[in-house]
Structure 1
Amino acid sequence: MSQFPHIKLPLQNKLTFTANPVNVVPLPDGEILMNFASQPLITKLNANLEIVWEKIIQGKNTNYVSSKLSASSDGRLMAIAGMTDMRILDAEGTKVLHTVEHSSWGWFLGAACYFSRDNKTIWFVLPGEENETDTLQVMDAATFEVIAAYPLLESQQYTYGFHATPDNDIILLEAAAGEDKSIQMQLQLTDGAIVLTELTQCDDAIMGNFSPSGKECVMAPHYDGPLTIYSFPEIARVAAQEQEAIFDGSKDFPAAEPDNINYSVFFVDDNNILVVSQFGRLLLLDRKDLRCKAEVRPEGIEFTAYNLDGNPTTNPDYIFDYSSNIINVMIVHDKLLLTTGEGELRSYGLPV
């Protein structure tokens, strides 16, 4: 008998690419934008994951490194943040409207741009020179004039991520230094100046998302800490659950290495939270007690057991851990989207 009841999700749509998708950006009318790990390409998909158009990214494509893609909520503008520049393009990706050149980010560092909810401003981070800080800047989305700036953290140490909140005037900024630490900050633009508040109560927590009610957000542990729930707008810790209690031994996946949270947690609705595990499992937690109520099993997702040397094994005495073919998990347009190791983008209904 399985450790948890299973919720089977039938596949709705699937699209296979020649390179792994790295950014999936929502657009109006259920459409999405994507870019890829090893190709200077942007692809627009409709709500059924059918290709609307594909465009080669204009600009510097020599020795291409995947850029960070974002778009305005009205679909009028998109932004491409690369290693040495940031570009604002029109909705069709054919015209570069503005470019900001900067010194090169280190590998895996930098930040996607963020379009404010009202689409009036664009927020982005520039790398600092040696012995300086990275810099947060805010640009007018109509004139592309920089209207505010703020010094951040020591240069070339962090990957940054912007997160919208239920309050249109408040943004969260996350700074992650690999496996070392994660820092959460609250941003506001007040009287033309950036107001930054470091959320020390969220140290080493990784942002998930907000509940549909907007009253809470869920965060994953950076390493071995608990899953945590914070109230909004207070950002006060109101609930937590240790990982051992969530997995309770991983009885369905016996291994030398225990399963744990793999940085990703999401409110599905106000009463249910989805956890992505290190083994590639999707566990559904009850918000009331933060205990697992079911394991979500999307169609077409498979697991492989590995031994200590990282080789596949079927011998239960030598299983060190497991891995599924899931790469990334997202909730976009009220759908569960998965990218896989086969270069696929898969869509499913939500598990509740």
Structure 2
Amino acid sequence: MSATFLEIALPISQQLSPGIKGASIISLTDGGYLLSFEERPEVIRLDRDLKEVWRRDLQAQNIRYVSCHISANADASLIGVSGYNDIRIFDAAGQLRWTFTHEPWNSFTGANCFFSPDNLLLWIIAPGDPDHLYVIRCTDFAMLDHYTLNGHQENNYNFMATPDKEKVLMEVAAGQDDASLFLIQLTDGKITLQELLSCNDRIAGNFSPNGNEFVTGPHNSEGIEIFAFPSFENTASLEQADLFASAAGYADSEDPDTLNFISLFLSDTTLLAFTRFGRLLLVNRQTMACMGELVAEGNIIQAYDDSWNVTTNPAAITEYAGDIVTVQVDQQRLVLTYGTGDIRWHDLSPLKDLAGLT
């Protein structure tokens, strides 16, 4: 257990209130952002000061419980919209460049698309019986190769960059039933796929800034796991019981707090664990001990009784909950989206002196 449980206040450095619930945001290399919504067709491009550059109807809303995913290439010259029954690529001004049509995804399944860091390749998945992985050349959208996957319209697929620019991480999740990670790459014109068996039933987090480690959160009741890169050998772990034994507070809840899938590197020495109650717990990478909590301005965690009414009666508390929906680390800042639709950025500079604390 940490000698002192730290509570570190994070003031809001920027805030966006679009007034629409279900907002998603991705960062661009020019410091700007792309904003989309679960139930609205438009995509909004913002500059680094969150001022609107353009707004386009790209039909980017969710359809029949299939999420629409927005992606962008390294220089933000191409934007990918992966939706219900097609994948569309737009230029930086939001003008259509290419469309790949596929059969509709089943409800609660889907995939994003992924641009390689050198802007040369586009990775996509088309659903079917079975699902197929494709790699496309970005200059002319020619198909270079395809790979038959084991899925049959029951998975969510998510691509992630790795510290090795030639390799891409592909996360495959089938609801509560299964979660797998794969390394994919194009070698001599052919797709190769390596299953990372050491990471089975883990939810992908992110890579440490130095590129040497990768963190995962639990798919079910597991804890936080650390894997070396590129070997993906398990090098450290923190069980949930140990995490919450060190995390002060909220002991009066009838239902105990648990990890809420998301675990992230904030720096090479500090991890973030997002919990079901909406807490942002800090973990020392060296000791793998919980050492404190980020208290983000505007994140109100309230107590509820068994009828899901807000209560201040300690004897009636069965649950706590905040309003945070997603947690991202972007450009040395923490980005939080809320159920109200608000998006808030928090500067992480208050954490700069945490290295070495136990």
> Which of the five TM-score ranges fits, normalised by the shorter chain?
over 0.9
- 1:277-303 C-alpha deviation (Å, 9 max, x unpaired): 111000111001111111100111101
| Aligned partner of 2:243 among 238, 241, 246 | 246
Match of 1:258 in 2: 256
Identity across the alignment (%): 37
Match of 2:356 in 1: none
Comparing 47-56 with 340-349, greater Cα deviation is found at 47-56
Counterpart contact for 2:176–2:219, Cα < 8 Å: yes
In 2, Cα distance between equivalents of 1:114 and 1:36:
19
Match of 1:158 in 2: 155
Matched to 1:339, the amino acid is T
Secondary structure at the aligned position of 2:210 is classed as coil
Secondary structure at the aligned position of 2:266 is classed as strand
Match of 1:117 in 2: 117
In 2, Cα distance between equivalents of 1:107 and 1:119:
31
| Structure 1 residue 66, shift from structure 2 partner | 4.5
How does the TM-score come out when normalised to structure 2?
0.93
Match of 1:233 in 2: 230
| Structure 1 residue 80, shift from structure 2 partner | 0.3
In 2, Cα distance between equivalents of 1:249 and 1:271:
18
For structure 1, which runs of at least 5 residues remain unmatched after alignment?
none
Match of 2:354 in 1: none
In 2, Cα distance between equivalents of 1:147 and 1:38:
34
Matched, 1:5 2:6: yes
Q: How does 1:120-159 map to 2 (within 5 A)?
A: 120-128=120-128, 132-159=129-156
Match of 1:73 in 2: 74
Match of 1:348 in 2: 346
In 1, Cα distance between equivalents of 2:297 and 2:60:
39
| Structure 1 residue 308, shift from structure 2 partner | 2.6
Match of 2:84 in 1: 83
The total of aligned residue pairs comes to: 347
Match of 1:215 in 2: 212
CA RMSD after TM alignment: 1.9
In 2, Cα distance between equivalents of 1:33 and 1:147:
28
Counterpart contact for 2:207–2:213, Cα < 8 Å: yes
In 2, Cα distance between equivalents of 1:213 and 1:194:
27
How does the TM-score come out when normalised to structure 1?
0.94
Match of 1:288 in 2: 286
For structure 2, which runs of at least 5 residues remain unmatched after alignment?
352-358
Matched to 1:23, the amino acid is S
Kindly tell me: are residues 64 and 293 of structure 1, through their superposed partners in 2, closer, same or farther at Cα, counting changes over 3 Å? closer
Match of 1:185 in 2: 182
In 2, Cα distance between equivalents of 1:335 and 1:46:
16
In 2, Cα distance between equivalents of 1:179 and 1:23:
23
Secondary structure at the aligned position of 2:309 is classed as coil
In 1, Cα distance between equivalents of 2:64 and 2:227:
42
| Aligned partner of 2:309 among 308, 311, 320 | 311
Counterpart contact for 1:306–1:312, Cα < 8 Å: yes
| Structure 1 residue 194, shift from structure 2 partner | 0.6
Counterpart contact for 2:136–2:142, Cα < 8 Å: yes
Kindly tell me: are residues 134 and 308 of structure 1, through their superposed partners in 2, closer, same or farther at Cα, counting changes over 3 Å? same
In 2, Cα distance between equivalents of 1:90 and 1:290:
44
In 1, Cα distance between equivalents of 2:92 and 2:330:
19
Counterpart contact for 1:165–1:171, Cα < 8 Å: yes
| Structure 1 residue 306, shift from structure 2 partner | 1.7
In 1, Cα distance between equivalents of 2:347 and 2:149:
39
